[in-house]
Structure 1
Amino acid sequence: MASDYDGVLAPLVDVPSEAVPQPGAAEALARLAAAPGVTVALVSGRGLADLQRTSGLTGELRWIGSHGAEFDGPLTGELAERRDALAARFADLVAGTPGARLEVKPAAVAVHVRQVTDRPAAAALLAAAGALVDPSLTVKPGKDVLEVAVTDADKGSALRRLAAELGAAGVLYLGDDVTDEDAFRALGADDVTVKIGEGVTAAAHRVPDPAAAVQLLEFLADALA
C-alpha cells in the first residue's frame, strides 16, 4: 500500500512545512503496516528528510523521496552539484515575481507560485522557468509548481522497483498530482489506483479529498483485521 503525502495524507497548504497529516491518517497507516503481509510506503516529491520531518510519521514504513531518486539513500556529489547549478539559474527569475518561492530539494529544484496573487505573472514565471530547462533534466509539472529534477527517476519506476523487491502480489497507490500519473500508468490491471480530487487521470478510482482518502485507508484496515 503506497501513497503520496501532500494532497493525499495531508491537505495542500501554502506553506509546505505546515502540511500536517489529515486527522486519522497516522493511525490508519499504522494499522495497515501492522497487518500481516502488508508493506506501507510513502512516495513523495519531497526530499526524504523533509518528508519525515514534516509528516511526523513513524513506525514500520518504507520511505521513497524525490520522486524515487531517494530510494536507497541521498544523491551522489555530482548530482548535487548539478542541482545547485540549476538553483542558481532559477534564483534571479523567481526573485522577480512577488510571492514566488524557490525550493531546493535533494534531487531537484522547484518553482512554487501558489502564493503569487498575480496569476498571469505566476503562469509567466512557470513558462520562463521551463524555457531554461535543457534536455538532460527532467521536468515534473504540478499544481502551482514546476519541478526540475537532475535524475529521470519517477514514482512509477520507484513503485515497480519496490514491488519487485518485496515480491508484492499487488499494489494499491493513492495520489493527487500530475507526478502521480506516472505511478498510475506504471501499475498493472491487478493493482488498484486511486486519484484524490479532481482532474483527468489514469487512475481507475477516485475519492474527493484527503478526508476521504483516510476513510478509504480505515476501510482497508478494518477489512484486513
Structure 2
Amino acid sequence: MEFTSPQAQQRYDAVVEAAARTVVGLDFDGVLAPIVEDPERAVIHPGAPAVLRDLARTVRAVAVVTGRPARQALALGGLDALGAELTEEGRELFVFGQYGNERWSATQRRVVSPRPPAGLATFERDLPAVLRACGAQDAFVEEKGLAVAVHTRRLPDPTDAFERLVGPLRDLAARHGLTVEPGRNVIEVRSPGRDKGDAVRTLVAEQHAEGFVFAGDDLGDVEAFRAVAALREQGLATLLVCSASDEQNALVDLADVVVDGPDGVLELLRQLVVDAS
C-alpha cells in the first residue's frame, strides 16, 4: 500500500489504535469485486469473504456501501451466508444498496427499500431516443428498481460514448426530477437527496463509532470520502482508501492510501487486522 503523505501514515496508526471502535465501509465494484464487462457477473473476489470475516471480528462493524441493489450485492458477494456466520459470533455486517436508499443487516436479514422515485418510469420511456441520438443505442441499460444505469463498457469506444452521453442524460434526468451519478463507464440515474455520505453518517451515529475507514474507487464514492473527511475534523480516527485503476482516478487526491484494485484493498485490510491484533 502507498500512503499519500506522512499524515496518512499517522491516520492509519490512529485507526489501528481505535480498531475495536471503528466501522469499515467498502464499495463493492472495483473494491471487493473486479470490474467486468457484464455487471451481473461481477462476483466478489475469491479472497474477500475470509478477509471480511477476520475484519468483522476485529472492528465494530463492516458495511458494504454500493450503488448496486442490495439484493444483488448480497447474491454476488455471498454476504447473506457470511452475515449469518458473523451474527452467531455477535458481529454485524451491513449492506447499504443503491447509494444508501436500501438497507440490509445480518441481524435483520431483510432489505428495507423505498418506492421507486417519481419520474423514473417516464425517464425510461424517453431514454432510447436519447441513446439513438448520441449513437449509443447499443449501450447496456440496467434497470435497478430505484435507478437506471447506462453502461458504455461494451461499446467499441467506452470512454468516448460515456462523454457523449453524460450531458444529454443529465439533461433528461433533470427534466424528470432525477439526478445523475457518473461512474466507471457507467451513468446512473436515480432520485436526488441521498448519497453514500448519508450511509457513512448513519453508521457512525448508530454504531457510536470512534473511527471510520472507507474504501472506494470512483465518482460515486466522493460523497462518502467527504463525509469521512468531515468526521476527521470532529476528532474521529479515519482512513480513506482509493482502489485505483487506469479508468478512474477521481479519488486519488482525496485518499490517504492508494492501492491497486481489489487485490490491494484486501491486502490493506489483512494488514489492518494483523496490526490491530
1:171 and 2:212 matched: yes
Any residues of structure 2 matched to 1:139-158 within 5 Å, and which?
139-158=180-199
The corresponding residue for 1:13 is 36
Write the distance in 1 (CA, Å) between the matches of 2:39 and 2:103.
Answer: 22
CA 1:169–1:122: 2 relative to 1, 3 Å: closer
1:3 and 2:42 matched: no
Q: Name the count of aligned residue pairs.
A: 222
CA 1:124–1:200: 2 relative to 1, 3 Å: closer
How far has the Cα of 1:121 moved from its partner? 4.0
Equivalent in 117, 142, 149 of residue 103 of structure 1: 142
How far has the Cα of 1:128 moved from its partner? 2.2
1:93 and 2:142 matched: no
CA 1:85–1:42: 2 relative to 1, 3 Å: same
2:183/2:218 contact within 8 Å kept: yes
Structure 1: unaligned runs, 5 residues or longer: none
2:181/2:187 contact within 8 Å kept: yes
- Name whichever structure is richer in helix by fraction: 2
Q: Compute the TM-score of the two structures, normalised by the length of structure 1.
A: 0.90
* Range with greater deviation from structure 2 (154-163 or 96-105): 96-105
The corresponding residue for 1:219 is 271
Q: Secondary structure at the match of 2:203?
A: helix
Structure 2: unaligned runs, 5 residues or longer: 1-23, 87-92, 105-111
Write the distance in 2 (CA, Å) between the matches of 1:16 and 1:205.
Answer: 26
The corresponding residue for 1:194 is 241
1:32-85 Cα deviation digits (max 9, x unpaired): 1123x5201000000111111122222241010000111371112xx3553223
Greater RCO between the two (CA within 8 Å, min separation 6)?
2
Equivalent in 199, 206, 221 of residue 180 of structure 1: 221
How far has the Cα of 1:94 moved from its partner? 3.6
Write the distance in 2 (CA, Å) between the matches of 1:92 and 1:53.
Answer: 33
The corresponding residue for 1:159 is 200
Equivalent in 54, 59, 70 of residue 48 of structure 1: 70
Write the distance in 1 (CA, Å) between the matches of 2:147 and 2:121.
Answer: 9
Equivalent in 172, 175, 184 of residue 132 of structure 1: 172
Point out the structure with max Rg over C-alpha: 2
Any residues of structure 2 matched to 1:39-78 within 5 Å, and which?
39-57=61-79, 58-59=82-83, 60=86, 61-71=93-103, 73-76=112-115
Write the distance in 2 (CA, Å) between the matches of 1:191 and 1:46.
Answer: 25
User: What do you get for the CA RMSD once the two structures are aligned?
Assistant: 2.0
Q: Compute the TM-score of the two structures, normalised by the length of structure 2.
A: 0.74
Residue identity in the other structure for 2:265? A
Equivalent in 143, 147, 151 of residue 112 of structure 1: 151
